[in-house]
Amino acid sequence: MNFLFRAKLLFFLYFVVNKLLNPTDMTSQSRIKPPVWFWIVSVVALLWNLIGAASYVADAFMSVEQLSQFTQEQRLLYESRPGWVTAAYAFAVWAGTLGCIALLFRKKWARTAFLVSLIGVLVQNIYQFFLSDTLQVMGEGALILALMVIIISIALLFFAKFSSSKAWIT
């Protein structure tokens, strides 16, 4: 290899590593300080998603004793749930939690995390609303909670998009 090629290769590698370690160039893009309500919304959203994560963990590691406290219909509903629904549930809660953490660290990839979370929420609820008898077994409360989760997931995606447009997250 000649000297010029080595120099270009080293410069390219330096540039790539520098961009990976410092994804935002502070000289070309200034960070605007977000208002206090940004932090309040972000913390409340994180708490909401941590509740969802705790619910997922409780659901995933449910003991036989806990399952025996269900009615026969509820137990059959729980046991017949396909693995892809559980996976969608996991993507929904963990991506939502990561999205909230990204908001608190003012990272633009919060939008992507909230999009993944919303897709997980929608996939999970397609099963609950259309492919199972969840609403008949669990009642109106399940419908209200599911709609609340969908609305909050959409709101968080729009909040991240809005925050990005205001340069609060970069």
96-152 confidence digits (pLDDT tens):
999 999 999 999 999 999 999 999 999 999 998 898 888 888 888 888 999 999 999
Predicted TM-score (pTM) of this structure = 0.79
Mean pLDDT for the stretch of residues 3-17 = 59
pLDDT tens, position by position, 18-59: 655 555 544 445 578 999 999 999 999 999 999 999 999 999
CB 109 within 8 A of CB 148: no
